[in-house]
Amino acid sequence: MTVIDVKPLTDRIRAYNPAIDDDLLSRAFSFAEKAHRGQVRASGEPYFTHPIEVAHILADMHLDPATIITALLHDVVEDTDVTLEQIQQQFTDEIAGLVDGVTKLTRIEMKSDNKQAENFRKLVLAMSEDIRVLLVKLADRTHNMRTIDHISRDDKRKRIAEETLTIFAPLAERIGMTHFQHELEDRAFAVVNPEMRTSIISRLDYLSTQSEDLVSRICDELNTTLYEAGLESSVSGRRKSAFSIWRKMQRQKVEMEELSDIMAFRVLVPDTSDCYRALGVLHQKFPMVMGRFKDYISTPKRNHYQSLHTGIIGPNKKKIEVQVRTPEMHEVAERGVAAHWGYKIDGKSVKPNEYKQLKWLNDLMRVLENADSSDEFLEHTQMEMYADQVFCFTPKGMLVTLPKGATAVDFAYDLHSGIGNTCIGVKINGKMRQLATVLTNGDQVEVLTSSTATPNPEWENFVVTGRAKSAIRRFIRQEKQKEFAQLGRGLLQKTLRQAGKDLVDSTLLPCLIHYNLKTDDELFARIGEYHIASEEVVAMIYPDLKPIEPKKTKTPTPKPSLNIKGLIPGMAVHHGRCCYPLPGERIIGIITTGKGLTVHRVDCQNLEKFTTMPELWVDIEWESDTPNIVNARLETVISNEPGSLAAVATTISDHGGNITNIQQTARNLDFFTFVTDIEVSNVRHLTAITAALQSNPFIESVERAKS
């Protein structure tokens, strides 16, 4: 039997933390080894080799003992008979809390198809409590990717790799763990697209043989240039990874041969002022590639990353990327949130769980609150994680970091959801601009708000941040729910009136229990959406009541020959969709090739086309006292507020009209414009409906639609 020793792990931790509690670590090691005894991995190795490797990965990051012990114990609750209470008794509340956070991520129901989305939602919830949960999970995923070839099923390997690329690698980047990010990307890329990865690596190897020692020669020349300018520096270079090259090919829609900057160089200088001096020296010596300079020192990334980035035509006329930073900045760039744990800030150690104050993590939590489903949450957060950044300012100088392509509405929602929901305009650099304006680096943005304003659903078409999209969608859902609830209440009241009863909210409790609903408004909304019939609800409230027969409003439409005088026998007849003629109005017929006879109102503007063709005109008129059901068309302008559309529908229904089609044609912050097709019996019927609509407080104007 293979003997697994704790000493290599203890020695690795003691190298950076001499005060380690050997006894606590040894007890955790033995506890986990005993719990996993008898379990094996797909490779045939003892399962406990996996937690040990995860612990070693975290020890290489110089993490605290509690996190490393969590790595040893991270699978015992999920995969063995050990309980969380036992861990709490044997170790500490801190360790038990971390193990619980990691365990919750894997306890997911296998019944639904949105496992990945639900997994990510739970991951964000767990890491919002303590960022170390994410670090353990990243180390766990890294070791699993290192051993993924032992999984026999191709579909399972591909699913794990795709999840790694879409969730875990971007999360590693967001907390600054670039070594995690690059390894996860490369190993996942090898599974998802092995042919492309092999092709890119082969091309890189070929280029290396064509320009032997090119990287070292460029490093030497950069070092010499900075030394001659009186700057102490250390320069290192590398070729970019296959995945980063492939992603750039996808983003720029080019072939690999068209990419010239496939090498990146890092310049370390003693302090911040030297960073800017070194940048100036390099730009004086070598031509700068326009549009490639980024200053992440004055405006750090959301993961606290700082560095100067530039592109130059360097030695040997090669286009290269150069990053200039201090050793402290480099430590943060390599180790991310873990970098600060070895330092003192204002005399106090930074605790790992204080990193739940990271802005991007707060943004994810707000998106989670607004999202209607796990899939929607995953969609929005992936947009956030993959985006480049734009830095803007409020009038008071507060920095706001947004993804590239963000608009003024994204800016408003980033400040506060209340500001986004009530914004009515924006000033960018002191000038009025449209809310859809795309922001650029350095813009000063002033958001104008009104307490009576509400989000415009059309904003969803141009905002790019998950936070803005989820807030707008949430508002739309709430408003639709209110309108359906108002419409449903009206339908139920109407049905009750037919039964001689009044609506009393207290009588609805049996219905709420039956349909498993919490509030009356939920019931009304279900009725308004026609998911529940109002007659069914009345029968449930008053079971002894005689069943209500649905009102028969449909009458068979008479043939045109029965209600219009003067028609040509055998000729097809159509009502003009340009003017929608109604019984009671003067009409005229026009013979149209291929269509037969079309009926128009005598004041229809389209009749002007036929003034020189009198042979096409036919004198016709409506039969009197003949029942008709014909379509009329109204153009209605209603106020942009909750309940307005429901009020229109209820008014038309109460006056015997039947809506056959409704289409929104315009909308702004204050009003909607709708074209509505309504079945009526004659012009007097339409006049009565129009008068009722005009008296409705929600309606600004209503008139017959013009051709």
Q: List, by residue number, the catalytic residues.
A: 78-79
CA distances from 536 to 418, 514, 541, 550 (A): 40, 12, 9, 11
Query: Is 25 within 8 Å of 65 (Cβ atoms)?
Result: yes
Strand (E) or helix (H) holding 573: strand 573-575
Q: Which residue has the tokens 């180790």?
A: 335
Antiparallel, parallel or unpaired: β 399-403 and 423-428: unpaired
Single-letter amino acid, residue 4: I
Distance between CA 66 and CA 385 in Å, rounded? Answer: 28
Q: What is the dihedral of CA 33, 38, 41, 44, to 10 degrees?
A: 120
Distance between CA 166 and CA 378 in Å, rounded? Answer: 10
Distance between CA 73 and CA 95 in Å, rounded? Answer: 9
The radius of gyration of the chain's CA atoms, rounded to the nearest angstrom, is 35
- The token duo for 31 is 């506890």
Q: What is the dihedral of CA 121, 127, 129, 130, to 10 degrees?
A: 170
Antiparallel, parallel or unpaired: β 621-622 and 596-601: unpaired
> What does the DSSP assignment read for 289-316?
-TT--EETTTS--TT----EEEEEE-GG
Nearest to 535 by CA among 478, 579, 492: 492
Antiparallel, parallel or unpaired: β 564-565 and 621-622: antiparallel
User: How far, rounded to the nearest angstrom, does the alpha carbon of residue 303 sit from its chain's CA centroid?
Assistant: 20
Query: Is 296 within 8 Å of 305 (Cβ atoms)?
Result: yes
What's phi and psi for 91, nearest 5 deg?
Answer: -125, -120
Q: What is the dihedral of CA 189, 190, 193, 199, to 10 degrees?
A: 110
Strand (E) or helix (H) holding 317: none
User: How far, rounded to the nearest angstrom, does the alpha carbon of residue 595 sit from its chain's CA centroid?
Assistant: 50
User: How far, rounded to the nearest angstrom, does the alpha carbon of residue 121 sit from its chain's CA centroid?
Assistant: 12
> What does the DSSP assignment read for 601-669?
ETT-GGGGGGTT-GGGEEE-EEPTT----EEEEEEEEEESSTTHHHHHHHHHHHTT-EEEEEEEEEE-S
